[in-house]
Amino acid sequence: MEDKFNCSCGYSICIRKSVTVSMACPSCRTLYCFGNNEFIKLSTLKPITEDVSPLKINTEGVLESKEFRITGRQQIIYNSSYRNLWSATYKSGEHFQIGESYGTYTIIKELSAQVSPTKFRNLKIGKEIELPPRHFFYVNGMHEMKELAVEGDFPIPIILQPKCLSIELSNNKFEFVIINIFGDSDIRISSGHFLNFEDFSFKNTRNLNEWI
Amino acid sequence: MNGSEINSNDNLPSAEILNCPKCRVALRVTGFLLTKNIACRKCHGIFNYSSGNLRLIKIFRKEKYNHIPIGSKGTIDGKKYEVVGFANYREAHTPYAWDEYILFSPIHGYSFLSVYEGHWNYLEQIILRPKQIVNDVNLNGDTYRIFNRYKQKTDYALGEFPWDITENSNTITEYINPPYIIVHDKGTNEETWLLGKYITPEEIKEAFNLQTHLPEQTGIGSTQLHASSASLSKVKQLTLYVVLSITVLQIILSFTAKEKVVFKDQLNIPANKTAGIVSPPFILENTLSGKSNLQVELIAPVHNSWMEADITLVNDNTGEEFHFEQGVEYYSGVEDGESWSEGQNYTDLTLSYIPEGKYHLNIFPATPDEGVGYFQLTLTQDVSMLSNFFIILLLALIFPVALWISVSSYEAQRWMNSDFSPYNTE
Amino acid sequence: MFKLRNYLIILAILLSIYLYAALTGWKFFGSNSEKWSPKQEKGHHK
């Protein structure tokens, strides 16, 4: 079910009733988050930068015979790289994220595991660490977040923190983990696995005729 | 289910055109947010690119020729790419230089074509992290041996790059398992694993529809395959089977050989030198093919003397004759306190293809004046032929051994370019 | 260029020669007899 929300700039935004938790106004880039039965204005973000991604809002796909649709994107710009976190929802309402960076694709879900930030201090590229339950990973990227741009709507809250260290880990089982350390102590761990572009059976992508 | 209204651009953008801040030449940007550096073809300046702004980092002194023009589109391994950048690198503090082409696809991201001494590799980023095993790495069960470890220096760049091309602090390690290569690029904040494969200049030309000729190949490429190396493992296996089969066959043949003595006699040498000896008749038994071999042994009590015999084996049924000569000699003595000897009083030979039937021998023996009085002749039918076994074995091994030598010397040459050569025992 | 197929052919030929020799009593480099048969020369005497 859809509903309408009027942004302070006057733009009327379609939202998913009882689903949308965060959203960005496509006109003025104001980010809203749902709380106390209303959408609260959080911040005005920079517009999404062109990154030649083949995906867009409303791109659809199929994973494990389940159809999904992309409803939002967080474009995270680090000091020397970038990552798109596409927010996708299956028809059943189940939510997941598609990580996209330089032609590599991952499906990601946030873990509820509580881990002490001390575990991730003094990490170095190539270092092996163990994450519960008995999964071993290697650190292959550590990036300071520089900017965040958002488009679309999300069934999850978007975290806005001026300081975020993003640690990327992978192993030899196609598994993937991102540890985001917001500020000094707020840790969010997301895990998932790598897939090929073709594995998503995307449709309604941007026009890729020249590239297929 | 509807999402919010977004002004998404349905089409991928065309390249952005900027003017070089130094020489005003048009510069293309295809990667937008992904592009970090842009290098100008005219002034050879390299610029940092951020949010549409260009900041000069460095100017390259030498211009290098790129065989594949920037902007060329081509298909490799079924993936469509555009050539967006070209760089010439050198292994730091060495004269070893190579070229790299940066390929871009919105779907597959960045891939690379690297060329050294005319040998090309096509490299893609891999998501599966190889396992480190001491110095080497393992990917999908295949071991890649360490080949080179170095830091690189960028001597020239052209086009656009998704990283800072002038930043050369990363350590690069190459592992090979021809025709494949794994390249590990490790920096302070990031590491990248690339999997590459040898690609021929013809494939490059076809992929990018090039009419120009590509650099001449010299030496052996780090991932170049010996034309027959794929056959070597099969040949090794096949050779093992062949050796085993022939050995088993030889054992069977040795056990089933009749080895029947058909004639054995001690014969006196006639006083009349022109007189011959006619042997009693004997029978060569029937065999599967109707023919067999016949071993002739001659023993004579020679001492500082010799004896030879002109022998004709005569088939009494057909009149066929087989003529041969046999001789023995033996000399010994003492010279300067050292005893010496040469020759022996025994000899044998094997006649081939002797048909079955009734035979006799015509023998004309010859000795010196102080002659040997007698000799012994033994004829054995169907003896096992070990020499045949060794000859066939030798012939069967010529090809695998030659191939092995060829592949080994090829490998030794390949590893001459490596600091980690298994052929270097120093 | 070395071809596996060619090597297989060579092996097949070698194996055939080996078996043929074993059956007929052909010793490679072993026989040094001169064969004569009555058809070759009239009037030859035993």
Q: Which two tokens stand for residue B136?
A: 């080497």
Within 212-271 of B, beta carbons closer than 8 Å to C belong to 227-228, 231, 234-235, 238, 242, 245-246, 249, 253
At B116, the pLDDT band (50, 70, 90 cuts) reads: very high
Residues of chain B found within 8 Å of residue C8, distances taken between Cβ atoms: 238
Q: Count Cβ atoms below 10 Å from residue B84 Cβ, excluding itself.
A: 27
Q: b/e for B246-272, b at 16 or more Cβ within 10 A? A: beebbeebeeebeeeebbeeebebeee
Rounded to a whole number of angstroms, the distance from the CA of A210 to the nearest CA of chain B is 8
Q: Reduce the DSSP state of residue A54 to 3 states and report it.
A: coil
- Mean pLDDT calculated for residue range B44-59: 93
CB-based contact B56:B73 (threshold 8 Å): no
Q: For residue A133, is pLDDT > 90? A: no
> How high does pLDDT run on average in chain B?
92
In this complex, is the C-beta atom of A117 within 8 Å of any C-beta atom belonging to chain B? no
Contact: C26, B292; criterion CB under 8 Å? no
In the structure encoding, which two tokens stand for residue B334, read together? Answer: 């003492």
Give the containing element (helix H, strand E) for B251: helix B229-256
B382 touches chain C (CB under 8 A): yes
Q: How far apart, in whole angstroms, are the C-alpha atoms of residue B143 and residue B132?
A: 10
Question: CB of B392 within 8 Å of any CB in chain C?
Answer: yes
User: Which of B248, B326, B395 should be substituted to probe chain C, the one whose Cβ sees the most C Cβ atoms within 10 Å?
Assistant: B395
Please state the pTM of the whole predicted model: 0.82
Contact yes or no, A with B (3+ CB pairs under 8 Å): yes
- Residue B357 with chain C: CB contacts under 8 Å: none
Residue from C6, C13, C28, C33 to probe the interface with B (highest B Cβ count within 10 Å): C33
**Closest CA–CA distance from residue A137 to any residue of chain B (Å):** 9
Contact between B34 and A82 under an 8 Å Cβ cutoff? The reply is yes
**pLDDT tens digits, one per residue of B225-268:** 998 877 788 888 888 998 999 999 999 999 999 999 999 999 99
What SS3 state is found at B137?
Answer: strand
Phi-psi region of B241 (alpha: psi -120 to 50; beta: other; left: phi over 0): alpha
* Predicted confidence band of residue B360 (pLDDT cuts 50, 70, 90): very high
Residues in chain C with CB shorter than 8 Å from the CB of B288 are: 23
| Angstrom distances, CA of residue B298 to CA of B308, B325, B329 | 9, 10, 11
What confidence tens digit (pLDDT) does each residue in B73-104 have?
999 999 999 999 999 999 999 999 999 999 99
Residues of B in contact with C33 (CB under 8 A): 313, 322-324, 351
How many distinct helices (H) and strands (E) make up chain C? Answer: 1, 1
Domains of chain B: 16-225 (no CATH), 258-383 (2.60.120.380)
Please give the pLDDT value at position B425: 57
Helix (H) or strand (E) holding B305: strand B305-315
**pLDDT per residue over A1-41, tens digit each?**
678 889 999 999 988 888 999 999 988 999 999 888 888 99
pLDDT of residue B8: 53
Residue C38: C-alpha distances to residues A84, B290, B315, B322, C42 (Å): 98, 19, 11, 12, 7
Residue B288 has pLDDT above 90, yes or no: no
